[in-house]
């Protein structure tokens, strides 16, 4: 059996992502669209529309167009929207890159996406110039103000300051618009091809639950390079005519201060931030009564923590949403004014179907039976970039996407996510692929074999830890040295939190890693490094 959404269907696609925002901007005029949370700098809807057009014109003048990819390596700044939507208006695609990435990780995504233009902020420019030299990048654009010009780059003011015509790009809703990176159910990060139609449909679906209007203010905590940040924190409020307040770096005191200062009404944040909402004592020092809806996404939130948030903010509805990068953010959602049943991730989104199947047999299961959750709907990705085999593994010919998440649907249609089939580790809602860290460990001269698993963590949900077989010739490796070596090469959320030395990594006769068995055998503590286990 399958569960169809009980909500009224939304119109699927039929326009571009930038077209959806520009349509709203034409009605909103001088109302604030984006506000820099710290400085208070405001970009109106009229100015945003103008910048989208000028970015498109400037990029087109430099030869950027259909099939080209623009990479954005920057924190949440107000320029993000104009640049991303401008690149789409020029006919190209956008790939956001984690601003915490190392140069090695940056190079990897640039190479895989084939980005020809890279946009960044002044502090990251030196790394960008080094990383782009070996990639296909032909132009680096810096989002700096006067006096922040950097040799070898183009200022964003040069880009938008020309008088070239706005390109008459082909506005095909089925063209790829966004290339966020995901590890899927397993393996290394892959570019997820989200079309304009996927994104526009997703925005409409989320809006039907959040019901945002021009009177709302969203504090953008989730990073825009992440699908949750781009769709829920940026595109949804802009399509509704609401205000987006940017937060370039999360700091807990500033977070509560910005809610108060800007009168935020809606928050969409990962579980660790919800934990702060429930427990952080200094929150009581701020006036937070403007909050009307709090949504948790990126990883399941316990029923107890959800209740704790609701108790602390009795005037706000509290709920959860669930989805993947491959579903353009959502498959289930909460309702404004109600939220979700504690522990539930909401109900199936409009125009979406969900199945629960036995992971071993593929047999469809009924209400309250636990199995893998499968999703089908117009928001489901086109596929993985240049990875047809990986696409076929997760997306079948009938459009059903295997999520790798275990869950169930109760008699009332509430969806619950209880575990994962996939190997992916979720650290504060960020994806960490064990295979990526294992490949890095294999490059260490004192590591003969290695495996990475997730360890439960109260603050982050999970953290990656490693079992390592030391190289016989080199003797037993030093755990602290391995931790530091990995930390130099990955973003902070990917850093190993512990290393345990073992004699053997459990594998099948064919060599496949028995990751669950390893996790069951593991004896990791909260310490950073351990000896032989």
Average pLDDT value for the chain: 90
Mean pLDDT, rounded, for 150-159: 85
Compute the average pLDDT of residues 190-209. 98
Angle at which helices 79-89 and 17-28 pack, to 10 degrees? 120
With bands split at pLDDT 50, 70 and 90, how would you rate the model's confidence at 406?
confident
Going from the N-terminus, what domains does the chain have, and what CATH number goes with each?
A: 45-171 (3.40.50.980), 425-521 (3.30.300.30)
Min mean pLDDT across 232-236, 293-297, 423-427 is at: 423-427
Angstrom distances, CA of residue 97 to CA of 106, 108, 180: 7, 10, 8
Determine the angle formed by the axes of helices 479-487 and 434-442, rounding to 10 degrees: 120
Per-residue pLDDT at 94? 98
Q: What is the mean pLDDT of residues 268-276?
A: 87
pLDDT digits (tens, 9 = 90+) for 131-144: 887 778 999 999 98
Going by pLDDT thresholds of 50, 70 and 90, the confidence category of residue 523 is low
120 φ, ψ (degrees, to nearest 5): -150, -175
Q: Which residue has the tokens 């706005």?
A: 166
pLDDT at 519: 64
| pLDDT at residue 475 greater than cutoff 60 | no
- Sign (positive or negative) of CA dihedral 450, 451, 456, 458: positive
pLDDT of 532 reads: 38
Please say if the pLDDT value at position 522 is more than 60: no
For range 146-160, the mean pLDDT: 82
What is the per-residue pLDDT for 476?
A: 55
Q: Predicted confidence band at 313 (pLDDT cuts at 50, 70, 90)?
A: very high
**129 or 219: which carries more pLDDT confidence?**
219
State the alpha helices, DSSP H only, in 444-514: 479-487
With a pLDDT cut of 70, the percent of the chain lying above it is 93
- Decide: 200 and 14 in contact? Cβ < 8 Å: yes
CA 86 to CA 56: how far, in whole Å?
Answer: 5
Q: Which pLDDT score, from 0 to 100, does residue 189 have?
A: 86
Integer CA distances (angstroms), 123 to 102, 103, 143, in order: 13, 13, 10
pLDDT tens profile 349-358: 999 999 999 9
Q: Which of 167-171, 198-202, 426-430, 433-437: highest mean pLDDT?
A: 198-202
**Which has more confidence, 13 or 64?**
64
- 15-28: pLDDT as tens digits: 999 999 999 999 99
Residue 113 reports pLDDT greater than 90: yes
Residue 482 is predicted with a pLDDT of 93
The token pair at 172 is 């095909």
pLDDT value for 510: 44
Take residue 461 and report the two structure tokens written for it: 């949900």
Residues 57-87 as b/e (b if ≥16 CB within 10 A, e otherwise) read bbbbebebeeebbbbbbbbbbbbbbbbbbbb
Rounded CA separation 411/421 (Å):
24
Please report, rounded to a whole number, the percentage of residues in the chain having pLDDT higher than 90.
67
Distances 81 to 17, 45, 198, 270, 334 between C-alpha atoms, Å? 11, 11, 18, 21, 26
């Amino acid at each position: 059996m399958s569960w169809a959404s009980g909500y009224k269907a939304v119109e699927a696609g039929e326009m571009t992502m930038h077209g959806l925002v520009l349509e709203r901007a034409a009605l909103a005029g001088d109302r604030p669209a984006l506000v820099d949370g710290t400085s208070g700098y405001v970009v109106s809807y009229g100015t945003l529309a103008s910048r989208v057009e000028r970015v498109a014109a400037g990029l087109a003048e430099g030869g950027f167009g259909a099939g080209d990819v623009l990479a954005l390596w920057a924190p949440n700044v107000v320029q993000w929207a104009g640049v991303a939507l401008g690149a789409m208006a020029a006919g190209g695609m956008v790939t956001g890159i984690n601003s915490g990435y190392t140069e090695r990780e940056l190079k990897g995504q640039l190479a895989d996406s084939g980005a020809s233009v890279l946009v960044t902020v002044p502090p990251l420019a030196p790394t960008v110039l080094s990383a782009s030299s070996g990639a296909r990048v032909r132009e680096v654009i810096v989002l700096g103000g006067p006096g922040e010009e950097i040799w070898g780059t183009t200022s964003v003011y040069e880009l938008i300051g020309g008088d070239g015509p706005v390109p008459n790009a082909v506005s095909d809703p089925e063209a790829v618009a966004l290339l966020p990176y995901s590890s899927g159910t397993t393996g290394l990060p892959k570019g997820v091809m989200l079309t304009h139609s996927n994104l526009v449909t997703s925005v409409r679906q989320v809006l039907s639950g959040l019901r945002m209007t021009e009177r709302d203010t969203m504090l953008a905590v989730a990073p825009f390079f992440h699908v949750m940040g781009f769709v829920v924190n940026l595109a949804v409020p802009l399509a509704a005519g609401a205000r987006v307040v940017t937060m370039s770096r999360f700091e807990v005191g500033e977070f509560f201060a910005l809610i108060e200062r800007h009168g935020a009404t809606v928050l969409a944040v990962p579980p660790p931030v919800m934990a702060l909402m429930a427990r952080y004592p200094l929150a009581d020092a701020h006036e937070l009564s403007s909050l009307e809806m709090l949504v948790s996404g990126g990883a399941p939130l316990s029923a107890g923590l959800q209740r704790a948030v609701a108790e602390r903010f009795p005037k706000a509805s509290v709920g959860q949403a669930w989805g993947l990068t491959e579903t353009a953010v959502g498959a289930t959602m909460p309702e404004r004014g109600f939220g979700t049943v504690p522990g539930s991730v909401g109900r199936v989104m409009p125009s979406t179907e969900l199945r629960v199947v036995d992971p071993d047999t593929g047999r469809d299961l009924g209400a309250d039976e636990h199995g893998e959750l499968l999703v089908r709907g117009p928001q489901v990705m086109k596929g993985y970039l240049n990875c047809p085999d990986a696409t076929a593994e997760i997306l079948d010919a009938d459009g059903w996407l295997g999520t790798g998440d275990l869950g169930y649907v109760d008699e009332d249609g509430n969806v619950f996510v209880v575990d994962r089939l996939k190997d992916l580790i979720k650290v504060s809602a960020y994806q960490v692929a064990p295979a990526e860290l294992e490949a890095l460990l294999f490059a260490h001269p004192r590591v003969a074999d290695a495996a990475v698993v997730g360890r439960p963590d109260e603050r982050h949900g999970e953290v990656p830890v490693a079992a390592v077989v030391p190289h016989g010739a080199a003797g037993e490796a030093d755990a602290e040295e391995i931790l530091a070596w990995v930390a130099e090469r990955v973003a902070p959320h990917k850093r190993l939190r512990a290393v345990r030395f073992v004699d053997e990594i459990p594998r099948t006769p064919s060599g496949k890693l028995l990751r669950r068995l390893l996790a069951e055998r593991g004896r990791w503590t909260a310490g950073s490094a351990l000896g032989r286990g």
